[in-house]
Amino acid sequence: MGLLKRLITYRQDSPLGWKVLIYIVVFSTFMTMAFTGAQLYSDYKREISQIESKLDEFERINKASITAAMWNFDQRQLNAQLLGLMQMRSIKQVQIRDHLGHVVSHIGTTLEEGEPGIIVRSFSLDYQDDAGAKYIGRVDILYTLDEVFAGVKDHVMLILLNQSITILFISAFILLIFNRLISVPLAQLARQARRMTIQDLEQAWVLDRRGSRRDDELQVLVNAMNQMRLSLRDEIAVLEKTKEALSESEEKNRSLIESTNAVPWIADAASWGLQYIGPQAHAQFGIELDDWYRPGSLLEHFHPEDIQHLQEILVDRAEEKFELECRLLHGTHTCWVLFQGAKKRRENAAELFQGYLQNIDARKNTEFELAEHRRNLEALVQERTSALQLQNGILGKLNEELQAAQVQLLQSEKLASIGQLAAG
């Protein structure tokens, strides 16, 4: 129980070491099983080879004597030969058959050929005389591998026990080395990393290790972490300076924007929902900032006729800049503004309308006054022109009457002169 608790604790405290231990045990077990199987197969083949070698030797040495005893019907000699063969390990039965297949001599357990686990080894008996070789019978040797398997089984248990003990000691030794050389230094680095803050970037990371001080992989890692720490410190310093410069730039831009009469605005491209309006909108148009965000759409602040015109422009210029002089509604009052904008696309693929509102009410009023003066002047000119045309007509008529009177006067003078000449 104590060892099991220590293993559970070690697994929780050192997951990497636990994985190494599992890998070592699994790999060692696999290799042990593979080598054990190979060794057992080699032992099995060696035992079979030894049995076959002894049988070959028996055949080579005793075949001639068994053949002679068989030819001479020497039963005692045959039994003696068979008893000698039965002394060999794994031999269960030996029998001699004549040329007709009848059993002449039999020693051992009665077995039948073809039974499971029975191996039969036979050699023929040929008698040689002047007439040539004559087949007189054969020797059947039946043996099993039970003793071989029993020996292999005992051997495998010994091998597995030996290899298990070896794996246990090797795993414990490797785990001890791993824990000392890797787990403990990594734990030190982890504690330093957890305690590190931006204020501690000046403090170098170190490993408290005994023994050799040469740069190994862990020391290279520590050096790299220290270089990263210094780079991070420098980057943070640059970031702080950039942040300060950006803040100053934003303040300047805000002051510049708020000091102009151009009011920036941002609205959603789909709904025209207002997302931002410049703070100077109240001073420029007299509408509180909260009132700007209250309607559901920025367009609701404009005159309906101008909204329709703006929508027509957006249809024609969907991806271009647009500009429109329109009327801004504030209660019962209106204010002329220059409405400028364009469609923008942000990094998150959201489409927005962004632009400026500029108060042109004074300019429009001046334009309206100039237009009114122009209309009055044109009417006056038209009236004066009509009067002059009338006077010209009257003068032309008087001129015609004067010319007619002159002609009549000349005619009268001529008649008078003729009358005087006639009286004279």
Q: What is the pLDDT of residue 162?
A: 81
Q: What is the pLDDT of residue 92?
A: 82
DSSP at 115: -
More confident residue, 213 or 415: 415
Cα separation, 330 vs 298, in Å, equals: 13
Q: What is the pLDDT of residues 8-65, one digit of tens each?
A: 666 666 677 677 778 877 887 888 788 878 877 888 788 888 888 888 888 888 888 8
Q: What is the pLDDT of residue 252?
A: 77
Q: What is the pLDDT of residues 282-308, one digit of tens each?
A: 777 777 877 777 766 777 788 888 888
C-alpha distance across the termini of the chain, in Å: 181
Cα separation, 112 vs 6, in Å, equals: 60
Cα separation, 58 vs 79, in Å, equals: 15
Q: What is the pLDDT of residues 37-51, one digit of tens each?
A: 887 788 878 888 888
- Cβ atoms of 355 and 263 closer than 8 Å: no
pTM (two decimals): 0.41
* Residue at token pair 């422009």: 313
Q: What is the pLDDT of residues 173-219, one digit of tens each?
A: 887 887 777 777 777 887 887 888 877 777 887 877 766 556 777 77
* Residue at token pair 């500029």: 358
Q: What is the C-alpha R_g of the chain?
A: 62
Q: Where are the alpha helices (DSSP H) in 72-183?
A: 75-86, 146-178
Residue range 70-82: mean pLDDT, rounded:
82
> Which segments within 271-417 are labelled E, that is strand?
274-277, 322-330, 333-345, 351-359
Spatial neighbors of 267 by CB under 8 A, at least 6 apart, are 273, 274, 275, 297, 298, 352, 353, 354
